[in-house]
Structure 1
Amino acid sequence: MKTNHIFSFIIASVLLASCGKKNEQAQQAPGPMPFPVEKVVKQDATVYQEYTANLEGRQNVEIRPKVNGFIQKIYVDEGQQVRKGQILFKLETNTLNQDASAAKAAVNAAQVEVDRLKPLVDRNIISPVQLETAKAKLAQAKSTYGSVAANIGYGTITSPVDGFIGSLPYKEGALVSMSDDKPLTTVSDTRVMRAYFSLNEKQMIDFAKTFKGESLAAKLKNVPAVSLLLADNSEYDVKGKIETVNGQADPETGTTQFRAEFANPQAVLRSGGTGIVRIPVEVKSTILVPQNAVLDMQGKQQIYVVGSDNKVKSRIIKTNGVSGLNFIVSEGLQEGETVVIEGASKMKDDMQIVPQPKQPTAETAQNASDKDSAKATVK
């Protein structure tokens, strides 16, 4: 009997310990966690179409010698600002000076011959043909001298435009010629910068459909001011304008080149640089979701939708560009649905959460108030 009592006591102890552990585990089991959510609504948005661009000055002039010779003097340095007509280089012209002296002597000799023959023709001693021949030789000698003198002038090289000096690949004493691959330097007028970018055939069709106009020139007039992203991802503080578009696509690449222009009063932009031209496009009544709410899963974009039982379900969506910090959703979501906007990486299907509606910021509340005031004014 005593053994039975002991055995019963052991079983009861085990059962009590087991129940205690279950209760403890139940108490420790976490309940549904709170996550920020947002109801999907349709709204107007601004989408930016972005294109990589190469930057050049409004004038980008290559400076090349018109005569062969040694660089005797370089009057400028790389990056220096110069004015139109300012001397840039001086080429050695000693050989040309000798040629000029010889050409000048030939002119003098031809002139003496003309002067000698003229009175003889006047007295009918010789034929007028001899005088005309002498005059022709004089004209030829003067032409030769003029050409040599002009070449001497070409030895002094001046800037054809206002701008900034580019690289100087040649040093003083270097022999340069008209056939060299590299120019002596480049002078860039960077007061207005040109951004060149290209659209492929599909992008060109979208562009033509987006902006109204019976011609490309008319469509360009309806394109709003564009912005420029710099290499450090900052936005250039001066807006630009698309000025021209090539009327014909490149037959090799199928792309069409555009040109936007930006004022450059602070010399922030430099020739040879790159940037990203952003064209704003207004989209009416579209669905936006925060970029933080979207997961990239093996090339597909996934978002979590909250059901009526507060359980989440993953859903594949398609987006069509960005607007600020939001994706523009083209497929996969309907207006009125609720999505998780933070912590999507912690989600899994059928997980129950405590939805925490996103609280409007002061700026959002003010914008809504302004819109309501505007509507009241219109009425």
Structure 2
Amino acid sequence: MEGQLEYAVRTLQTTNTELQSSYPAAIEGKQDIEIRPQVGGFITKLGVDEGDVVRKGQTLFVIDPVQYKAAVQQAEASVKVAQAAVATAVLTAKNKKDLFDQKIIGSYELQMAENNRITAEANLSQAKAQLITARQNLSYTNVTSPSNGVVGTIPYRVGSLVSSSIATPLTTVSNIDEMFVYFSMTEKQLLEMSRQNGTTANVLKSFPAVQLKLADGSVYTETGKIETVSGVIDQSTGSVRLRATFKNPNHLLKSGGSGSVVIPYKSDNVILIPQTATVEVQDKKYVYVVKADNKVASTMIEVAQLDNGADYLVTAGLKAGDRIVVEGIASLQDGMQIKPITEAESAAKQEQAVHMSAGLAGKKK
């Protein structure tokens, strides 16, 4: 063993662990409703401001109603005229019927009177329909919120001319009592879960409660539940879109925000190894296994997609009782004989070296 280099070696054992996997996510309100006018005109009043919390039916904007009130009055007048015409046509038709029964007039005049009555009644129905439309247009000048939510950006102000064909909506009302958080998982990851759990419904049931890490690095207090998995794989990215739902009682989460969905996974009787004990060659991971004669053998391993940033969960290539080199692997070569030491011994030697270096530096001063 003389002259052989010392390397820290770990004897592997199974353990129970919980690892986390993090996925970039986009936050959206449960409902993001674009508010668009159904009639044209100048905005005469703003009922809310950006960021206001509104209730369903609350007035958001008022569009100048003058021309629409005039249209209602005109339609009401048209209805009255049509009603009068119907009344006259009915009397005329009744009179013609009496004269026909007395054989004073012929059937032609009677039929003409009936036709005039039918025409008058049709005109009345048309006038009533126009009145309904006019009243509806007048009601549209009072733009209300279709749901509870929070008001977004308001690009139009009092005096702005708007119409039903505007490209940019008046504003957006977001229902943020609950938030949808969208993230993507690779096709491979989803296939692994599907093989383990079967149907998509079972995959969704197997997901634990998830956490949301916000843009500032803090963890959101409410946990979420993954509820849907897209049935279509994005060909450009090879990923599947998932949606988690989070309660948002204090409206801390905002529509359009970003963060990361953190999914915890509990695993029993697994082998964990330090990520620093591996070397990657062409997307494959290798470790140096120490044989009985203390010679190292480069061994390919497979690891789970999940990790905690420091360790890998080994799924193939290693077993309990195997010894692997965990430090200084960059200087190793396949078949090289080493002197194994424990990680504690390695740490003690490193600490001793630091103290000696500090002492020599002190003497030079």
Using structure 1 for the length normalisation, give the TM-score: 0.72
Map of 1:64 onto structure 2:
36
Q: Which structure 1 residue ranges, 5 or more long, are not aligned?
A: 1-30, 360-379
Map of 1:249 onto structure 2:
232
Equivalent pairs counted in the alignment come to 325
Question: Quick one: which amino acid aligns to residue 326 of structure 1?
Answer: D
Q: Give the deviation of 1:272 after TM superposition.
A: 1.4
The 1:356/1:311 distance shift into structure 2, 3 A limit, reads: farther
Map of 1:195 onto structure 2:
181
Distance 1:80 1:347 in 2: 63
The equivalent position to 1:165 in structure 2, one of 151, 161, 166, is 151
Moved more, 152-161 or 132-141: 132-141
Map of 2:222 onto structure 1:
238
CA RMSD for the aligned pairs? 3.5
* Residue aligned with 2:228, SS: strand
Distance 1:243 1:262 in 2: 10
The 1:252/1:35 distance shift into structure 2, 3 A limit, reads: closer
The 1:252/1:297 distance shift into structure 2, 3 A limit, reads: closer
What pairs up with 1:319-330 in 2 under 5 angstroms? Answer: 319-324=303-308, 325-330=310-315
Tell me, yes or no, if structure 1 residue 130 matches structure 2 residue 116. yes
Equivalent residues of 1:32, 1:353 under 8 A apart: no
* Residue aligned with 1:55, SS: strand
String of CA shifts for 1:46-73, please: whole Å, max 9, x gaps: 3434433322222222211111222222
Map of 1:267 onto structure 2:
251
Map of 2:271 onto structure 1:
287
Q: Give the deviation of 1:157 after TM superposition.
A: 0.9
Q: Give the deviation of 1:268 after TM superposition.
A: 2.4
Map of 2:47 onto structure 1:
75
Distance 1:92 1:194 in 2: 37
* Residue aligned with 1:244, SS: strand
Map of 1:89 onto structure 2:
61
The 1:329/1:189 distance shift into structure 2, 3 A limit, reads: same
String of CA shifts for 1:218-269, please: whole Å, max 9, x gaps: 33223222222222333323221122234x3257556543221111223222
Question: Quick one: which amino acid aligns to residue 30 of structure 2?
Answer: R
Equivalent residues of 2:9, 2:340 under 8 A apart: no
Q: Give the deviation of 1:300 after TM superposition.
A: 6.6
The 1:194/1:101 distance shift into structure 2, 3 A limit, reads: same
Equivalent residues of 1:313, 1:348 under 8 A apart: no
Distance 2:293 2:154 in 1: 72
Distance 1:358 1:81 in 2: 63
The equivalent position to 2:208 in structure 1, one of 224, 229, 240, is 224
What pairs up with 1:40-51 in 2 under 5 angstroms? Answer: 40-51=12-23
Question: Quick one: which amino acid aligns to residue 329 of structure 1?
Answer: V
Q: Give the deviation of 1:100 after TM superposition.
A: 2.4
Question: Quick one: which amino acid aligns to residue 107 of structure 1?
Answer: V
Using structure 2 for the length normalisation, give the TM-score: 0.74
Q: Which structure 2 residue ranges, 5 or more long, are not aligned?
A: 100-109, 347-365
The 1:33/1:86 distance shift into structure 2, 3 A limit, reads: farther
